[in-house]
């Protein structure tokens, strides 16, 4: 699922919501009639967009926003949205400044993967997940049989996406997506999602009032974006509606299993197993791009943490989420299926590990390098700039350590005769600064 980071201070969000309320004009804007919407193409271009980061009065933003909705109508219509759907969907919709404040809040600080996993796979989340397995045995077994996805994996995604339905989000989806589409940062993406959301309303799966979710447009128990809903949502209750929003999680969980199945989930295979690397392991062979059969890894001395051989699960790769000094994993095809849901390695590991714990498998055995602090995004940008300047391109400077940056680090480490584990920490940055 394509999703935005939704971390943010609840306190700050509450304060911003309060300011927003104070700035709101009394009453809601009247809904433009479809006739006026049809004239929209003849409207003059809107004024240059206000600088939203300077927190302009909301009424100004909302005026431009209402004009944008008028301009958007013919584009929606050309993609099959009917006027009745459009008007019902946009009834009372206002520019949502809170959505933009969340979108702009890219924290300078990020969590280390072990801090993320501590929270994501906490004792409380494991316990609640076990309670959910006991609460819905018939439903979960039916989903497992129909889609071929283990119930613990479906429940793990549920636990991470909405704390088992506890935090599904209460932001009206049309307003959130329209605000993001109007705002322009990734506007084309959000406009496309907005059209898909209108099509969901048109199909009758949910009412405009009932279509709610996160500020970034992710909806229901397992936080589907509208485009994913249209491709993968299913009606397992048989009432003719794919209802991922209501308290009953049946359709949402079946839809999640369908999503994983359609992204290649293989029942009976693990997402990963924790392994022990031999002394003298060639770290240049680590990373998701180097796939080998289990037998080939076995010949190189790779074993389960217990010392036993890794069972024949097919092709796998060695993942070192915290470099050579942290735990090592052999990841398999199911890792990629979870990654289709959310591409962050930390997310995939959290889903995978939570599902393992729900199935009664043990905690991660090796210890994390907990003394390492997370790099700030300014430091990550500096790291990327220095690697690129040294001839090891990171394919852009975005302040995020993704696959290209990890590859560049590994090549730089190899060229310097260092252990090429691709791990970015302060020690690596110090070495890069040292020339
Ligand atoms: Ca249903």
Mean per-residue pLDDT over the chain, rounded: 87
Question: H helices within 109-249, ranges in order?
Answer: 113-120, 123-135, 137-147, 151-162, 173-183, 187-203, 226-232
State the distance from the centre of ligand 1 to the C-alpha of 237, rounded, in angstroms: 4
What integer is the mean pLDDT of 326-353?
96
pLDDT class of 49 with cuts at 50, 70, 90: very low
Catalytic residues: 161
State the distance from the centre of ligand 1 to the C-alpha of 243, rounded, in angstroms: 5
Measure the CA–CA gap between 273 and 254, rounded to whole angstroms.
26
For the segment(s) 10-107+169-217, the CATH number from 3.40.50.300, 1.10.8.350, 1.10.760.10, 2.60.40.1180 is 1.10.8.350
State the distance from the centre of ligand 1 to the C-alpha of 230, rounded, in angstroms: 14
- What pLDDT does residue 11 have? 35
% pLDDT > 90, the chain: 79
Give yes or no for a contact between 255 and 266, defined as CB atoms under 8 angstroms apart: no
Measure the CA–CA gap between 306 and 123, rounded to whole angstroms.
23
pLDDT class of 107 with cuts at 50, 70, 90: low
- What pLDDT does residue 60 have? 62
State the distance from the centre of ligand 1 to the C-alpha of 260, rounded, in angstroms: 19
State the distance from the centre of ligand 1 to the C-alpha of 355, rounded, in angstroms: 25
State the distance from the centre of ligand 1 to the C-alpha of 236, rounded, in angstroms: 6
In this model, does residue 33 exceed pLDDT 70? Answer: no
- What pLDDT does residue 404 have? 94
Give yes or no for a contact between 230 and 165, defined as CB atoms under 8 angstroms apart: no
What integer is the mean pLDDT of 316-329?
97
State the distance from the centre of ligand 1 to the C-alpha of 203, rounded, in angstroms: 13
State the distance from the centre of ligand 1 to the C-alpha of 181, rounded, in angstroms: 29
pLDDT class of 102 with cuts at 50, 70, 90: confident
Counting Cα atoms < 13 Å in the Cβ hemisphere of 37 gives 23
In this model, does residue 16 exceed pLDDT 50? Answer: no
Nearest to 150 by CA among 315, 33, 270: 270
- What pLDDT does residue 306 have? 95
Architecture of domain 377-433: Orthogonal Bundle (1.10)
Sheet of strand 272-276, all strands in order from the earlier edge strand to the far edge: 292-293, 315-319, 328-331, 272-276, 303-304
Give yes or no for a contact between 258 and 236, defined as CB atoms under 8 angstroms apart: no
- What pLDDT does residue 184 have? 77
Read off the pLDDT of residues 139-194 as tens digits, 9 standing for 90 and up.
Answer: 999 999 999 999 999 999 999 999 999 999 999 999 999 999 998 788 999 999 99
Listed by start position, the domains of the chain span 10-107+169-217, 377-433
Read off the pLDDT of residues 219-274 as tens digits, 9 standing for 90 and up.
Answer: 999 999 999 999 999 999 999 999 999 999 999 999 999 999 999 999 999 999 99
State the distance from the centre of ligand 1 to the C-alpha of 242, rounded, in angstroms: 5
**Phi/psi at 329 (5° precision):** -130, 150
pLDDT class of 104 with cuts at 50, 70, 90: confident
Sign of CA dihedral 127, 156, 226, 345: positive
């Amino acid at each position: 699922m394509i999703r935005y980071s939704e971390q943010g201070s609840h306190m700050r969000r509450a304060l911003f919501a309060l300011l927003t309320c104070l700035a709101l004009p009394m009453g809601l804007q009247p809904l433009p009639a479809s006739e006026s919407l049809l004239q929209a193409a003849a409207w003059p271009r809107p004024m240059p967009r206000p600088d939203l980061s300077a927190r302009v009065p909301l009424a100004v933003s909302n005026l431009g926003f209402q004009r944008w909705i008028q301009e958007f109508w013919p584009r929606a219509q050309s993609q099959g949205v009917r006027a009745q759907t459009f008007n019902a969907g946009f009834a009372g919709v206002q520019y949502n400044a809170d959505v933009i404040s969340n979108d702009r809040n890219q924290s300078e600080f990020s969590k280390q993967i072990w801090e993320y996993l501590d929270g994501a796979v906490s004792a409380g989340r494991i316990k609640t997940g076990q309670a959910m397995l006991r609460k819905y045995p018939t439903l979960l077994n039916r989903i497992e049989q129909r889609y071929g996805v283990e119930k613990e994996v479906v429940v793990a995604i549920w636990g991470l996406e909405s704390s088992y339905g506890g935090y599904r989000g209460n932001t009206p989806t049309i307003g959130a997506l329209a605000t993001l589409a109007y705002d322009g940062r990734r506007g084309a993406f959000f406009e496309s999602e907005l059209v898909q959301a209108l099509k969901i309303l048109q199909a009758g799966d949910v009412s405009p009032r009932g279509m709610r979710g996160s500020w970034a447009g992710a909806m229901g128990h397992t936080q589907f974006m509208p485009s994913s809903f249209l491709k993968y949502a299913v009606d397992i209750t048989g009432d003719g509606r794919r209802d991922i929003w209501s308290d009953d999680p049946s359709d949402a969980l079946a839809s999640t299993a369908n999503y994983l199945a359609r992204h290649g989930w293989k029942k009976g295979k693990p997402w990963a197993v924790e392994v022990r690397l031999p002394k003298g392991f060639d770290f240049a062979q680590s990373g998701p791009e180097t796939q080998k059969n289990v037998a080939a890894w076995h010949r190189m001395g790779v074993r389960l943490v217990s010392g036993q051989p890794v069972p024949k699960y097919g092709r796998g790769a060695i993942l070192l989420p915290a470099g050579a000094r942290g735990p090592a994993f052999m990841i398999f095809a199911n890792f990629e299926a979870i990654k289709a849901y959310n591409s962050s390695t930390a997310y995939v590991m959290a889903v995978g590990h939570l599902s393992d714990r729900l199935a009664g498998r043990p905690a991660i055995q090796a210890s994390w390098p907990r003394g390492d602090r997370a790099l700030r995004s300014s430091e990550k940008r500096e790291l990327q700039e220095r690697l690129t300047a040294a001839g090891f391109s990171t394919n852009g400077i975005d302040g995020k350590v993704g696959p290209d940056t990890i590859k560049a680090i590994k090549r730089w480490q190899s060229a310097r005769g260092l252990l090429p584990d691709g791990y970015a920490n302060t020690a690596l940055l110090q070495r890069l600064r040292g020339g």
